[in-house]
Amino acid sequence: MTTARRAAGRRRETARQQQSGRQPEAGRHGSEGRRREAGRYGAEGKRVVQDIRPELTVLDAGQRQRVRRALRDRKLRCPHCRRDRFEVGEALYLGFLFLDEATDAYLVALRCTNRACPLPRTGVTLGQEEFMSAGHPEG
């Protein structure tokens, strides 16, 4: 397929989306599961984050640091490349989803910082008291 044909196909698709009022999808799987960060700040001076997934809890810097400390205490490593450094993502409350989990259990998303890691995404289950601060609305 030539470049001109691809460009014409993209123009037709854009025209169809404009006629139907649909927004173009972001990436291969659409915008589902992604978050949009607004450029404004809330009342407490924290950046406002609009979650497409409202069940996720966005962690602040202190909570992320406490998660890293819990990982270090447990001596957890990436199951694929055995590295011990992670980027900490959001937390999903598990207490109401699974009967065999504690009622204060959260699944915290982790991403291995090793660029050569074959499967960098993983997670860890932590109790609420392990990483939530006393001033947190859910803590």
Return all residues near 132 (Cβ < 8 A) that are at least 6 apart.
63, 138, 139
Could you please report the per-residue DSSP string of 54-74? TTEE---HHHHHHHHHHHHHH
Helix-, strand-, coil-residue percentages of the chain, each rounded to 5: 25, 25, 45
Residue 26 scores a pLDDT above 50 = no
pLDDT tens, position by position, 59-114: 999 999 999 999 999 999 999 999 999 999 999 988 777 778 888 899 999 999 99
Q: Is the pTM of this model over 0.85?
A: no
Mean pLDDT of the chain: 76
